[in-house]
Structure 1
Amino acid sequence: MTPLRCLAIAALCALAASVQAQPDTAGYPNRPITIVTPTTGGAADAVARTLSASMSKSLGVGVVVASRPGAGGNVASESVAHAAPDGYTLLLALGSMLTVNPALYAKPNFNPVSDFSPIGLVATTPYVLAVNPTVPAKNVRELVAHANAARDPLFYSSPGNGTPNHILGVLFNTAAGTKLQHVPYKTTGAATTDVISGQVSMTFGSMPSVLPFLRSGQLRGIAVSTAQRSAFAPGVPAMSETLPGFAFDAWYALLAPARTPKPVMDKLVGAVEQALKDKEVRAAYAQQNLDVATGTPAELSALIGQDLARWTAVIKSNDIKPD
């Protein structure tokens, strides 16, 4: 066989392999899609299950939810980052998984910018600075005055070192000039329970986790972390009303592995946009104390980059380490 003939055969084989490796975008989707979440239960899982029902209707295939817990969400992120880019494995991520964890953990096995194709922002919720009712403060100004006048330091709880709840306390200390001391717990439930019992003075909890206790009077809301007041607790001021520029929220987004073909991405983006307009989805969000959030893939990409830079600076300057 001549060298030229060998070269031609090799080229044809490479072309055939390349064609075979290309996903069948024209027929997408033709089998169930999996949305990977970082927890079993909780807000991220609830968002994924709410979206999956609506997306299944519009895409014409089953959309199932699978939890991959561990390492603050890193296990879920890594599993999707290294999945086939064919549109059948997606990630429902809490923002901190993509913008806090890469700075917090020494060697996460994924890159939040280059390993994912953003589909869209799907939900947001405020954090709430909530105190035990015995704390003599009803707003941020009174809390700051009480903290600075107290003989002993005041303590705030979080579900663990390096969580957004922990970091919000660090940011609050910087913005308000206080010296609140952090007490890490293993779970959100434990962190909240000890504030209710009076073991700890306060917590920076997500709206879904603390709202029932605000309504029952077991906790008092001092401020929400978002720029505007929340419709779920309109009587609780926004932190920015006292501390201008203080605005942070928990956001949830849907992403696919990087290099997912554009025709597939377009179908997924369309399905998510349709789901977020669905009255049943909006009603389910309201029951979970979550706000509907929308945005293009480009806007989500910009948000990831912006928050990654912001949280990295805070984590490094304060030498924050995970549990």
Structure 2
Amino acid sequence: MKSKTIIFTDKEQAELIEIDLPDEPGPSEFMIRTRVTLMSMGTELACYRADSEVGSHWHGWVKHPFFPGYSCIGEVIKVGIGVENISIGDRIFHTTSHREYANLPIPSDQVVKVPMEVSDDEAVWSKLATITQTAVRQAEHAMGDTALVIGLGPIGQLVTQYLRLLGLSEILVVDQVSSRIDLALAHGATAGFQGSAANAKDFVLEYTDGRLADTVYDATGHFSVLPLALPLAKQYGTVILLGDSPHPSKQHLTPDLLTRQIRLIGTHNESLPPMHSYWTPIRQQRLFLHYLKRKQMKVADLITHRYNPSQASHVYQKLNQDRSNSIGIIFEW
């Protein structure tokens, strides 16, 4: 059988093609028909540009042809021999790329059933929600802490909502785009600053009693932001480097790291240190779905655009030029 699939054939070249897929799932596999996929905008545009320095993980990862995407909701249409607890008609979140059909293995820590109370538009955020949950866990917040989130794309928006759940006293946000700030304020941020983090120090001082933020999240993925984030953390505070730059050697430290003894933590994907080993990817995904069921998190209104997969070439080209008014990008299959 044939499956439509989005592919990057070369640098800044996206196409929708058909690939061959076995008609039946193999043993311990099941087949899904995709309903929606969510673009991980920062990651996928970095892969689309294919512009990364030698030695970065991007350089070793992005090879053409490249299949982008890792956030999919599909409906089970066939079940192979030996598959248990998965039935035809179940909705599944999984981390396959943007494609129409897929055969998925069981067991897997990247496959989770979607509760009936949770919509496709909500559940498709599960991967991004675990990436951000991983970062928030490593910050080790305490009730009443203050935090600053720089960059309010998909990742920054999710961090903001987790911080609200944790009971922080101030959740400050910075972005260049007012509509992104408005969304963050609607979802738990306590104050927003429109502009560059380079000009945000007085804003942070105002809302932290002159102490600066306990924790600063750099959720931009741009190399220029780290030296702007470090001065906004309080003495002995923490900076979480959550956005992943394809040019890490261009990221620069400031004297704050030593003189004010800032703790700098890099987080990547869903990798947690041993002290948090209980929180596997699938447990984090299930917790996120639990929050959605209880209406403690809201993500459907983060979706700003919907496209047919046949528009993929246009969509990536457009976003590569300007993504300022975009947050959640959905492909409807």
Q: Given the two structures, how large is their TM-score scaled by the length of structure 2?
A: 0.33
RCO comparison, higher one (Cα < 8 Å, 6+): 1
Task: Say which structure is richer in strand.
Answer: 2
Larger gyration radius, structure 1 or structure 2: 1
